[in-house]
Amino acid sequence: MAVKKTGLGKGLDSLIPASPVKKKPEGEKTELYQIKTIAKKDEIKLRITEVEPNRDQPRKKFDEDSLLELAESIKQYGVIQPLLVQKKDDYYQIIAGERRWRAAKLAGLKEIPVIIKELSDQEIIEVSLIENIQRENLNPIEEAQAFRRLLTEFHLKQDEIAGRVSKSRTAITNSMRLLKLDERVQKMVIDDMLSTGHARALLAIEDKELQYKVAIQVFDGKLSVREVEKLVKALTTEKTEKKKKEPESRFVYADIEEKMKALLGTKVVINHKANNKGKIEIEYYSNDELERLLYLFQSIQV
């Protein structure tokens, strides 16, 4: 069953209405605009040097081969769909269409078609986000970062974000969970070294260093998601069993500490390590007490 699209979920096909947008009453839900069908009178041309990207837009990575293909298409047919821009101090900031702008520069264009609109910071992020999601341009980490920004900076609830991008609330939650990964693992996802499925499986490993080591192992061994899930399950099960044994062993060594304390008449600490190794710390508080302990040890008959 298809998810009903509301708000941003209507997509970019209604990004710009045929008539001017009236100011909405405070608190009314923002309806975003679409750009598929645009009246020609709304489109103008700007020098490409007057247009600059939005540094805060969700998408950070652009495939070079894909840009070159688009540039070749633009050389033949031009920029078919205009960019959506907003006037800044001495330039126009791209709201939607940075990929077309980059390809147009590669194609050597001097001018580029645009639609000029005035949007709030939140609307700009939402438009950029939905455009990239609809075109599947964002990698999983970029998408998660955009969701988090809507959540933290603009105080939208996860249900509201889900409605705007036509995704389930669970999908939004699972997406943002990827930001809990070690930054090095996130970079591997961005660089297509790991899939989203691999990344989600690695979330079960809380130790960031171990998480990264396993991620490298996954990439080097070309492990499937199922294989990663089994590997992670084995690691977490082993860790859980080890934790269960620790209280029992600690109880045993605590009992020995008490017996040695009674025997020596001073505080004793046993630091037990792996492989049944460790060290015993015996405290003394004066030279006389140190001599007493030494005499006590010397008197022990082997």
Query: What are the domain boundaries of the chain?
Result: 7-18+29-180
Q: Which of 98, 123, 142, 143 is catalytic?
A: 98
Mean pLDDT for 76-93 is: 87
More confident residue, 247 or 153: 153
pLDDT at 3: 37
Domain 7-18+29-180 = CATH 3.40.50.970: no
> Among 25-29, 52-56, 171-175, 238-242, which stretch is predicted with the lowest mean pLDDT?
25-29
Name the residue among 107, 114, 52 with its Cα closest to residue 84: 114
Mark whether 229 is an active-site residue. Answer: no
Predicted local distance difference test score (pLDDT) of residue 29? 38
pLDDT attached to residue 189: 93
